[in-house]
């Protein structure tokens, strides 16, 4: 059953009488829900002529953004219009995979004339801001730059919906996928354990399983089933512990470096498929692989690693030897940064590779290469009533500094009550109670016992 639009499961305040302002977005604790967690109020402080809603959702098996556009288009469109007003943008674009014809038709019918739909190829990584902006506008964000550098602001569908809902962020939408009985998209109270969410999807279909958070490409392996859902958890993917993706994500650096040093034949496939290299950025992962043979690494071969977006396409798709150039780039970044190896060219000097449009990796081929074809690739949004015994709200679940608690142990709170605020003068976001209960403070979180 589809959820009722704008009605919070936990009863948090949802007044829409206030005019939406940047200050109010900050009060509500809205952050980038697509994974970045950047405080939205700060992002809205920029004046740009174009707002792009990112509905590309290119992580295999995830369906949250598409489901939100299908079931909650009203608060999404309201939030998008409000975001456009706040940044002074006369134009908006919804970037969504071209295969979702029904949603594209509905958006074209419901959206005002100032908002158009841009159908996107069903490829990875279409949801990367740099790729999305290039597909939508034809312009390339310079290395190390931001969408505002090419007169745009990009926001995830759920982020814009949260603006439209005009209530404290106490719930998260996410897809539970992979080796679970019922792959679904759910609305869950922030701070609930991922184990409880997996149970709501029917539980795992195998006894020995591991969990990837956020998807399978840019995943973070979960440390355990008691890890809490945060404002940026967009997907929970369950896989057998023996699955190659789990092995790859858990690989240790000494092994990655040793195998890479001996097995890389410099075929360049990692570079030729790298989406940032294809955009014209100065990243060449095959060059970074050469750094494994040197200590310290020569500057010219690690310089571009700062512009690796960690999409993992080189490691999990392109490399025929199953090496890990992505992690080699990640490991090189601190040295590149310490040596000031930043891009010094002009934005005009960045021109996409002539083959860029032809080297996009189709989603079907990626799913096959990743060994995921046996898993059901749907995630319908369903209602599920959660009643957690407690929730754990980390003080850092956003970009910037950890928030500072404004409640005390033993204090009774209700959904939507303020728990923590940004540290004075630092980037951060407010955190609100997601259930009714009694507060227990820990060094890094606010626990609420129901």
Cβ proximity of 210 and 239 under 8 Å = yes
267 contacts ligand SF4 (rule: CB under 6 A): yes
- Residue from 264, 306, 341, 392 in contact with ligand SF4 (CB under 6 A): 264
Task: Find tokens 């004075």 and name the residue.
Answer: 424
Residue number with CB closer to ligand SF4 (81 or 329): 329
- Residue from 289, 301, 303, 366 in contact with ligand SF4 (CB under 6 A): 289
Give the DSSP letter string of 141-203.
PPTT--GGGGT-EEEEHHHHHHHHHTS---EEEEEEEESBSS-EEEEEETT-BHHHHHHHTT-
Q: How far is the CB of 210 from ligand SF4 (least distance, A)?
A: 21
Q: Which of residues 45-104 bind ligand SF4 (CB under 6 A)?
A: none
266 contacts ligand SF4 (rule: CB under 6 A): yes
Residue number with CB closer to ligand SF4 (192 or 313): 313
Q: Which of residues 148-167 bind ligand SF4 (CB under 6 A)?
A: none
274 contacts ligand SF4 (rule: CB under 6 A): yes
431 contacts ligand SF4 (rule: CB under 6 A): no
Q: How far is the CB of 341 from ligand SF4 (least distance, A)?
A: 15
Residues 6+ apart with CB under 8 A from 125: 58, 131, 217, 275, 309, 311, 313
Residue number with CB closer to ligand SF4 (214 or 402): 214
Distances (CA, A) of 343 to 50, 122, 145, 274, 332: 26, 31, 10, 18, 15
Q: Render the burial of 281-312: b for 16+ CB within 10 Å, e for the rest.
A: bbbbbbbbbbbbeeeebeeebbbbbbbbbbbb
Q: How far is the CB of 129 from ligand SF4 (least distance, A)?
A: 13
- If binding means CB under 6 A, how many residues of this protein chain bind ligand SF4? 27
Q: How far is the CB of 244 from ligand SF4 (least distance, A)?
A: 16
174 contacts ligand SF4 (rule: CB under 6 A): no
Site string for ligand SF4, 302-341 (x = CB under 6 A): ------xxxxxxx---xx-x-x-xx--x------------
Q: Which of residues 203-242 bind ligand SF4 (CB under 6 A)?
A: none
Give the DSSP letter string of 282-341.
S--HHHHHHGGG-SSPPHHHHGGGGG-----HIIIII-TT---HHHHHHHHHHHHHHTT-
3-state helix, strand, coil in the chain (%, to 5): 35, 20, 50
CA distance 345 to 235: 37
Q: How far is the CB of 134 from ligand SF4 (least distance, A)?
A: 14
Q: Which of residues 336-375 bind ligand SF4 (CB under 6 A)?
A: none
Note the residues at the interface with ligand SF4 (CB under 6 A). 264-270, 274, 276, 283, 285-286, 289, 308-314, 318-319, 321, 323, 325-326, 329
């Amino acid at each position: 059953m589809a959820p009722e639009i704008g009605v919070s499961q936990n009863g948090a305040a949802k007044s829409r009488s206030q005019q939406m302002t940047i200050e109010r977005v900050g009060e509500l604790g809205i952050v980038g829900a697509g994974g970045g967690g950047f405080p939205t109020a700060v992002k809205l402080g920029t004046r740009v002529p174009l707002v792009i809603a990112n509905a590309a959702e290119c992580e295999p098996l995830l369906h949250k953004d598409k489901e939100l556009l299908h079931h909650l288009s009203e608060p999404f469109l309201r939030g998008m219009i409000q975001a456009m007003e706040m940044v002074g943008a006369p134009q908006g674009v919804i970037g969504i995979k071209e295969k979702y014809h029904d949603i594209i038709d509905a958006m074209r019918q419901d959206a005002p004339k100032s908002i158009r739909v841009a159908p996107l190829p069903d490829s990875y990584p279409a949801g990367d801001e740099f790729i999305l902006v290039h597909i939508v506008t034809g312009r390339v964000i310079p290395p190390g730059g931001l969408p505002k550098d090419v007169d745009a602001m990009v926001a995830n569908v759920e982020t814009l919906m949260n603006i439209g809902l005009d209530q404290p962020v106490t719930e998260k939408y996410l897809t539970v996928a992979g080796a679970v009985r019922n792959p679904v998209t759910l609305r869950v109270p922030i701070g609930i354990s991922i184990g409880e969410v997996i149970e709501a999807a029917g539980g795992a279909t195998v006894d020995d399983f591991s969990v990837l958070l956020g998807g399978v490409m840019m995943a973070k392996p979960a440390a355990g089933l008691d890890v809490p859902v945060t404002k940026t958890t967009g997907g929970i993917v369950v896989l057998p512990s023996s699955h190659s993706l789990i092995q790859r994500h858990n690989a240790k650096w000494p092994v990655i470096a040793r195998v890479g040093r001996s097995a890389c034949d410099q075929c360049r496939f990692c570079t030729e498929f790298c989406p940032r290299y294809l955009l014209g950025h100065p990243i060449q992962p095959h060059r970074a692989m050469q750094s494994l043979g040197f200590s310290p690494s020569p500057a010219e071969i690690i310089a571009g690693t700062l512009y690796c977006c960690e999409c993992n396409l080189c490691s999990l798709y392109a490399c025929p030897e199953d090496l890990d150039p992505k992690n080699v780039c990640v490991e090189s970044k601190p040295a590149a940064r310490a040596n000031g190896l930043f891009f010094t060219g002009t934005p005009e000097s960045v021109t996409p590779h002539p083959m860029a449009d032809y080297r996009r990796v189709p989603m079907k081929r990626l799913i096959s290469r990743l060994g995921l074809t046996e898993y059901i690739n749907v995630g319908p949004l369903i209602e599920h009533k959660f009643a957690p015994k407690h929730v754990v709200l980390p003080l850092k679940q956003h970009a910037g500094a950890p928030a500072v608690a404004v409640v005390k142990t033993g204090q009774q709170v209700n959904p939507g009550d303020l728990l923590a605020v940004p540290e004075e003068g630092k980037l951060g976001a407010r955190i609100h109670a997601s259930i009714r209960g009694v507060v227990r403070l820990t060094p890094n979180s606010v626990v609420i016992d129901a």
